[in-house]
């Protein structure tokens, strides 16, 4: 048998509101556990492979949250937005109440793969510069990109306010306007500034890979899903 917790505490920990509200929902028979209605807030359950519903919506018990999202354009990666909706409005409210955070922000006009979690160690592991987790961006440029410009990006370009040139880990031309650029840093507007430094301009920017985790083709803009064990291995967060 694994760890056990009272149902009220389980529902509260999973982001369904204050303890008093959780107790009330259980009394009102709005919670089922492993297919059975439970109206006793103090009933204890084994957390391993615990399936429950709240007001008819199915959930699995998760000690911590690990998500991926296909960020759409015109959404901001902030709880306090200025001009556009927040990406957190695309998540179920219980996850927002668990205080999940996006790992590395994408600009409002940048789309693609973003990770979201409430695990501080995981957030640090994925975002800290010292770990140098590579990220691949699909960059659509306004003007055709020459071999010399690609070489310049890989050798390093000098950006304003930076002490030393910054280089892409790799840069592959998909067609004359589209590049796949791999970076291990996440400086402010880095891709756009690097492309500007080669006398070009970014028309569209999409993050397509973090570590070995590729943005799934079936994950549409605005959709999210839980990270699987395989996904976590691709991110280097679990042993291979």
Q: C-alpha angle with apex 135: 114 to 146, nearest 5 degrees? A: 125
Nearest Cα neighbor of 52 from 18, 100, 104, 14 is 14
Is 118 annotated as catalytic? no
Choice among 40, 60, 99, 107 that is catalytic: 107
Instruction: Answer for the pair 27, 38: CB distance below 8 angstroms, yes or no.
Output: no
Contacts (Cβ under 8 Å, ≥6 apart) of 187: 159, 162, 166, 193
Long-range contacts made by residues 45-49, C-beta under 8 angstroms, separation at least 24? 45/4, 45/5, 45/7, 45/10, 46/1, 46/2, 46/3, 46/4, 47/2, 47/3, 47/4, 47/5, 47/10, 48/2, 48/3
> Which residues carry out catalysis?
107
């Amino acid at each position: 048998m694994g760890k056990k917790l009272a149902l009220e505490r389980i529902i509260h920990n999973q982001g369904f509101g204050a303890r008093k509200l959780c107790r009330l929902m259980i009394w009102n028979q709005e919670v089922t556990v492993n297919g059975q209605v439970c109206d006793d807030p103090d009933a204890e359950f084994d957390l391993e492979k615990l399936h429950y519903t709240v007001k008819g919506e199915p959930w699995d018990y998760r000690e911590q949250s690990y998500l991926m999202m296909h960020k759409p354009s015109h959404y901001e990666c902030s709880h306090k937005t200025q001009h556009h909706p927040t990406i957190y409005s695309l998540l179920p409210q219980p996850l927002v109440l668990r205080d999940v955070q996006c790992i590395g922000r994408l600009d409002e006009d940048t789309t693609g793969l973003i990770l979201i979690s409430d695990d501080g160690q995981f957030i640090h592991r994925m975002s800290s510069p010292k770990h140098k987790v590579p990220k691949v961006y699909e960059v659509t440029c306004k003007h055709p990109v020459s071999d010399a410009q690609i070489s310049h990006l890989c050798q390093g370009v000098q950006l304003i306010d930076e002490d030393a040139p910054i280089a892409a880990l790799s840069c592959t031309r998909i067609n004359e306007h589209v590049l796949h650029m791999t970076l291990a840093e996440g400086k402010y507007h880095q891709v756009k500034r690097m492309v500007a430094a080669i006398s070009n301009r970014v028309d569209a920017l999409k993050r397509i890979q973090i570590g070995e985790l590729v943005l799934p083709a079936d994950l549409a803009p605005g959709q999210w899903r839980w990270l699987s064990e395989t996904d976590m291995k691709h991110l280097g967060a679990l042993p291979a």
